[in-house]
Structure 1
Amino acid sequence: MGSVGRVLYPGRFQPFHNGHAYAIGWLLERYDEVVVAVGSAQEGFTCQNPFTGGERVEMIRSYTKARGIDGRVWIITVPDIRMPPAWTSYTLSLSPRVEAVASGNPQVLDPFKWLGLKTIEIPLEKPELYKGTVIRGFMAKGLEWRHLVPEEVAYFIDEIGGVERVRRVCSSEGR
């Protein structure tokens, strides 16, 4: 059904939400495997990046295992180096070999395209709702957010006290 090969899907996944889940499904219809690159992996316990790299790996892994696709999804962590052209090469050096790079964000794709890689723009599913800033904002304000993430991710966030963390780190940063 899908084409042979492997595609890189970079993002921060703060948290992993239904839009990310849709993107992985869309990519698996076209590729044998997806390499999920968890960016800003060195960050955690901030308003913009409340979850650690390891916690985000656990969120994604719980989702892929529950869906029976864990054998087709690789998960790697990539720290920031604040130089987009260098970060793209750095990311590729940490990743298994890929034929293309996919994202719903053209700004993420541009440096990969600049390096000469094949890039794929993923159609976004409900981008006004499936967005980390929106979900973290709902958490910080005590609004309902669970319907915006896969069930396994909601359970994981509850298990680690994630909502309380988001409220704490976002209020301490004056947001």
Structure 2
Amino acid sequence: MRAFFVGRFQPYHLGHHEVVKNVLQKVDELIIGIGSAQESHSLENPFTAGERVLMIDRAVDEIKRELGIDKKVYIIPLEDIYRNSLWVAHVCSMVPPFDVVYTNNPLVYRLFKEAGFKVMHTKMYNRNEYHGTEIRRKMLEGEDWEKYVPESVAEIIKEIDGIKRLRDISGRDF
């Protein structure tokens, strides 16, 4: 069985990591859709699609090693089309076929359900802590953010100088 899981992953954090780990134990293959792929260099979406692919790829490698599995994971950037009624068809045209969607996003759930897909809720993992907005705020404020993302993701954010990017685009003095 092949599953689909979508998010913006700005950044990919430990909440996402636990969902991916959980789903990988239930399916044969996983498609991870990177939503809003066209967005980058803003406070809400600071990382490029390519940077997010790298974050997810390295984090998934960690999961595979930890679980001792070698399942296929497709990581596919998906640009927004700003037409909810057409979005599922757009996604389906951009990714391999899949059997089930995993999400906790009410709109994503509704759209895929209406399109006839099997949709499963995922367990939420410390949603108050593992939330992209809060992690980006911690990055901006110089607080400890690294404990909220997989180690490999923290390394990539440092490698691309992601904190400086966030601070530069915030327009704030530090």
- TM norm. shorter chain > 0.5: yes
Q: CA deviation at 1:170?
A: 2.6
Pairs within 5 Å for 1:7-156: 7-68=3-64, 71-156=71-156
Structure 2: which 5+ residue stretches go unaligned?
none
TM-score, normalised relative to structure 2: 0.92
Alignment-derived partner of residue 167 in structure 2: 167
Q: CA deviation at 1:70?
A: 6.5
Contact 1:106 1:121 survives alignment (8 Å): no
Q: CA deviation at 1:113?
A: 0.8
**Distance of 1:70 and 1:171 partners within structure 2:** 43
Q: 1:80 to 1:6 in 2, by over 3 A?
A: same
Q: CA deviation at 1:121?
A: 0.8
Moved more, 33-42 or 84-93: 84-93
Structure 2 counterpart SS, 1:49:
coil
Runs of 4+ in 1 over 6 A off after TM superposition: none
How big is each residue's C-alpha offset from its partner over 1:115-149, in whole Å with a ceiling of 9 and x where there is no partner?
A: 11110110100000111101001111111100000
Contact 1:6 1:35 survives alignment (8 Å): yes
Tell me which amino acid in the other structure corresponds to 1:108. V
TM-score, normalised relative to structure 1: 0.91
Contact 1:62 1:153 survives alignment (8 Å): yes
**Distance of 1:121 and 1:167 partners within structure 2:** 35
Give the length in aligned residue pairs.
168
Structure 1: which 5+ residue stretches go unaligned?
none
Structure 2 counterpart SS, 1:31:
coil
**Distance of 1:119 and 1:8 partners within structure 2:** 9
CA RMSD, 1 decimal: 1.3
**Distance of 1:12 and 1:171 partners within structure 2:** 23
Tell me which amino acid in the other structure corresponds to 2:18. Y
Q: CA deviation at 1:66?
A: 3.1
Identity, % of aligned positions: 38
Q: 1:170 to 1:123 in 2, by over 3 A?
A: same
Q: CA deviation at 1:153?
A: 0.1
